[in-house]
Structure 1
């Protein structure tokens, strides 16, 4: 249903540093290279893992952080980190540091993460089509209608659907 698809596209409020950080923990997962053999694929990062990523880069950045402090930031107990911590957290998650301080950057990043998540969960061609249609100003309703038409045409081409030439040749 169109409303269901559109509801999935709604982003949570990203109005605090804690909400933005928690969103990253929720959406970004460790890469296969970061997982051990016993780890479950698709699991969330831990505070310790993010702290370790930041601390491993300390020789170049000069920034260290504790897992406990990351937990405080996530809960909103600490809410005014140093700029160097914001940059280090952004680097650890692979996002632009503007994500934490600029509403427009946060929305862009959240939109990109939503699109990446869709790419993982569904056919890449369908996501690409949806993005092209959205970029051209089509509504979610129009986009879903076009997706349904494409699916129907695929079914007809595969011989799984029946469509008379009269119903196809209306144009």
Structure 2
């Protein structure tokens, strides 16, 4: 199964909500704007930062969450969150909410994140990225998501790449 496609063996199974959430914590990093100047670029989000992102939009979404509850979801202690929490977590990480409940959506997001990592390492620019995405046959919504994620990764790496 894992040997069928090159690179597939690197992708962990996302068979629980906790595994899917942990994968996002492991692969998606705070932007430089979120970190501030004094913090280490490329570090992982904390439970509190994700909760703060969600709570910062409470007036708009009506959703609040505690850092402790985010931690319980990550560990699988809590495993049946409200739909509003699932949507808020997805929004905080910039992924489709289907990622948490649909295997095909989770696989698609995981593959997109892997592709983004490769694109980032290759130094692909935005215009070239649009062409690559057009050639993959992704939906326009998925293509926009990938572009947003690349822009976020580029912002994180900007201090290292200095515009290269």
Q: Same fold (TM over 0.5)?
A: yes
Aligned to 1:29: 29
Which of the two has higher C-alpha Rg? 1
Aligned to 1:154: none
TM-score (normalised: structure 2):
0.71
> Retained in 2: the 8 A contact 1:9–1:114?
no
Deviation at 1:123, TM superposition (A): 3.9
* Paired residue total: 129
Mapping for residues 8-157 of structure 1, pairs under 5 Å: 10-124=10-124
Deviation at 1:119, TM superposition (A): 1.5
Deviates most, 31-40 or 47-56? 31-40
For 1:74 and 1:95, the matched residues in 2 are separated by 16
Deviation at 1:7, TM superposition (A): 4.0
Higher relative contact order (CA 8 A, sep 6+): 2
Q: Unaligned regions of 5+ residues in structure 2, if any?
A: 138-164
For 1:111 and 1:48, the matched residues in 2 are separated by 27
Task: List structure 1 segments (4+ residues) > 3 angstroms apart after TM superposition.
Answer: 7-10
Deviation at 1:36, TM superposition (A): 1.6
Deviation at 1:8, TM superposition (A): 6.5
For 2:100 and 2:13, the matched residues in 1 are separated by 13
